[in-house]
Amino acid sequence: MAPKPTTLTTKVESGSPYQLDHEQVLKASTALLKHITTTETAKSKKAGTQNLLAQNDDDDAESTPVWLTLTTKKHIIDKTKLKPFKISVPHPLNTSTTTTICLIVADPQRTYKDIIASPAFPAELSKRIIKVVGVDKIKKKYKQYEAQRKLFAEHDIFLADDRVITLLPKLLGKTFYKSTTKRPIPISIQAEAPRSEGKKIAKAKGEGAPKAAEPKKIAAEVEKAISSALVTLSSSTNSAIRIGYASWDAQKLADNLESVVNTVIEKYVPKQWRGVRGIHVKGPETMSLPIWLADELWVEDEDVLDESVVREIEERVVEKKNKKRKTRGIEGSEIEEKGGEEKKQKLESNDDKLDDEIALRKELLKIQKEDAAKDLDAVPVVVKKTKKVKKVEEEAIEEEAAVPVVVKKTKKAKKVAA
C-alpha cells in the first residue's frame, strides 16, 4: 500500500481552538534558515568577500530579519493604524548594546532627561538612550525634510510617549511613516493616576500635567518596547511581522513564531482561527514557506451557497450575456442595412437631373449674394459726428468765406463788359 499523503492544511471547526503544529513550525524554520545561509554564502563567494553573517552571529541589528506573514479571509481592520502594537516574545529582538535609542516625550523634556541621567535608572540602558526630545522642539527644529532625515539616520530605534504618539505622523511625515522600519513605538512613561476602590480619582483643577513615572518603571517600559515584536495593522488581508533573525537557531525562531501567531489571532483577527487563511515564514528575498493553511476559504457556513443556487446564478449570468450579444447583433445588422441603403442611393442618384438641380441652386445662390451686395450699397451710412468734427467743419467753412475769389476773365468777357 502506498503511504497516506500528509496534508499541511487543517480544517478549523467552529468554536474549537486550534494550535500550530510545533514540528511543522520547526521544520519550516530550519529549512528557511538553511536556505538564507546558503544564499548568503554563495553571494559572498561570488563577490569575493567573506560571509559576514557567519562571523557576526551575535550582531542582531546587522543580521538578516525573518518575517511571519499572516493572511486572513477578511480585512483585519477597516482603517490603517499608524500606531504599532507590541507583542511580548520569548526571545527579545533587540539585545545589541550598540543599538541607539531616541525618546520622544511630552513637554517638559527636561524632566525625563533628568530621570534617565539619574543613578536610579539602569546605566546600561541609559547609555543607549542618546537623545530625549520634546514635542515642542520637534515642531521648531525638525520642520524641514532634511532635518527629519538626519534625525531618522542618527538613531536605530525611536520610542514615543503614548500621550503624543498620535501627533507624530503629522510632525515627522513620510520620513518616519513611509515604512515600518523605524516607526516610533509607544510607551507609557507617566505616573499612574491614584485610584480609590478600583476607580481613577479625577484630577483637581490647576493641578497641571501628570507626573513622570519612577525610573524603574520607565526603564521596564523601554526594555519591553525594544524587545517586543511589533505589529502594524492595515486595512488588508496580509500582515508581516518581524519575529527574529537569520543568525538565530531554528528553535528560537519557532518559539517566537508560535507566540506571535497565538497572540495576533486571539487579539486582532476577526473570528480568530476561523478568520485565518494561511501562515507563512520568509526572509527578505526568499519565497514564503507555508506553516498552516486553511481548507475553508469562507468564515461562516452561511457564506457558502448550495450547488443548485450556484448553478442557477451561473445560468442567469450566461443568459444575460447571450441576450446582450443578440441585442448587439440585431442593432449592428440594422445599422449595416441602413448604411448600405444610403450608399446605394448615393450611387444611383448620380444622374443628369441631380446635376441640373445642383447647377440651378448654385445660380440662385449667386443671384442672392449680388442682391445682398446691392442692398448694402444703397443703404446710406449715417455717421454720427462728434462735437470736435463739427467744430473743424465750421472753421473750414468760415475760412473759405473770408478768402476773396479771383475770377480770370477771358477776352470775350472783357468785350462784353466794355
List the domain boundaries for the chain.
1-78+233-304, 94-193+209-227, 307-369
How many degrees, rounded to 5, is the angle at CA 92 between CA 87 and CA 93? 90
Q: Where does 75-186 have alpha helices with state H?
A: 109-117, 123-128, 135-141, 145-154, 168-172, 174-177
Q: What is the pLDDT of residue 389?
A: 60
Q: Identify the CATH assignment for 94-193+209-227 out of 3.40.50.2000, 3.10.270.10, 3.40.50.790, 3.40.50.300.
A: 3.40.50.790
- In the numeric block, which cell numbers belong to residue 182? 523605524
Residues of the chain with pLDDT under 50: 1-17, 51, 53-54, 56-61, 343-349
Q: What is the pLDDT of residue 392?
A: 62
- In the numeric block, which cell numbers belong to residue 32? 528557511
CB atoms < 10 A from the CB of 284, how many? Answer: 10
Q: What is the pLDDT of residue 321?
A: 78
Q: What is the pLDDT of residue 316?
A: 80
Q: What is the pLDDT of residue 45?
A: 79
pTM tops 0.85, yes or no: no
Q: Are 187 and 222 in contact (CB under 8 A)?
A: yes
The whole-angstrom separation of Cα 332 and Cα 327 is: 8
Backbone angles phi, psi at 193, to 5 degrees: -70, 140
Q: What is the pLDDT of residue 363?
A: 76
Instruction: Indicate the pairing of strand 195-196 with strand 199-200.
Output: antiparallel
Do 1-78+233-304 and 94-193+209-227 show the same overall fold? no
Homologous superfamily (CATH) of 1-78+233-304 is: Ribosomal protein L1/L10, rRNA-binding domain (3.30.190.20)
Distance between alpha carbon 172 and the CA centroid of its chain, in Å?
Answer: 17
**Backbone dihedral region for residue 184 (phi beyond 0: left; psi -120 to 50: alpha; all else: beta):** beta
Q: Are 40 and 232 in contact (CB under 8 A)?
A: no
